[in-house]
């Protein structure tokens, strides 16, 4: 279901990089079992390619593990010990996603007219250049 939600929100990607977690391997096996020729004919899409880290090389996923750590730290600071309803948790996660995607990817000097490139620059049609308010 996680892959379905991802595709519904972001669109189908051509490649998914992941560790060798049993959930990811199971999803890859399920998707490999589909009749992609029929899907391609009817939907004009290509199969998703899965690239797994070697089982004994956990450090290969370091860059996305760092993003997960940032999300966990954000949730700890925002929520503390609060208990939320499902809809409230989804809203908080969307706020965290917006905050994480607004982080600059490049250094920009003190010039007022320069705007740093961020992940949201590539993900959104309408650019949000300010940091979202999570309160």
Tell me, what's the pLDDT at 5? Answer: 78
Tell me, what's the pLDDT at 130? Answer: 59
Distance from C-alpha of 61 to C-alpha of 121, rounded to nearest angstrom:
24
Position with higher pLDDT, 112 vs 22: 112
Structure tokens at 64: 């996305």
Residues 6+ apart with CB under 8 A from 132: 95, 98, 99, 102
Cβ neighbours of 102 (radius 10 Å): 19
Tell me, what's the pLDDT at 108? Answer: 78
Tell me, what's the pLDDT at 17? Answer: 78
Whether pLDDT at 61 is above 50: yes
Are the C-beta atoms of 111 and 100 separated by less than 8 Å? no
Quick: pLDDT tens for 64-122.
778 889 999 999 999 999 999 999 999 999 899 888 888 888 887 777 777 788 888 87
Residue 44: which pLDDT band, with cuts at 50, 70 and 90? very low
User: What 3-state class would DSSP assign to 39?
Assistant: helix
């Amino acid at each position: 279901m996680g892959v379905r939600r991802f595709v519904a929100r972001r669109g189908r990607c051509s490649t998914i990089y992941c560790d060798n977690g049993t959930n990811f391997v199971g999803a890859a096996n399920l998707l490999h079992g589909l009749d992609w020729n029929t899907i391609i004919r009817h939907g004009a899409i290509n199969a998703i390619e899965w690239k797994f880290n070697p089982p004994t090389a956990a450090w290969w996923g370091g860059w996305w593990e760092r993003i997960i750590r940032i999300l966990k730290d954000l949730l700890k600071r925002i929520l503390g010990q609060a208990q939320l309803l499902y809809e409230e948790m989804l809203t908080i996660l969307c706020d965290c996603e917006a905050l994480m995607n607004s982080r600059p990817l490049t250094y920009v000097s003190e010039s007022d007219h320069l705007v740093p490139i961020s992940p949201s620059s590539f993900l959104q049609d309408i650019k949000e250049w300010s940091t979202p308010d999570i309160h």
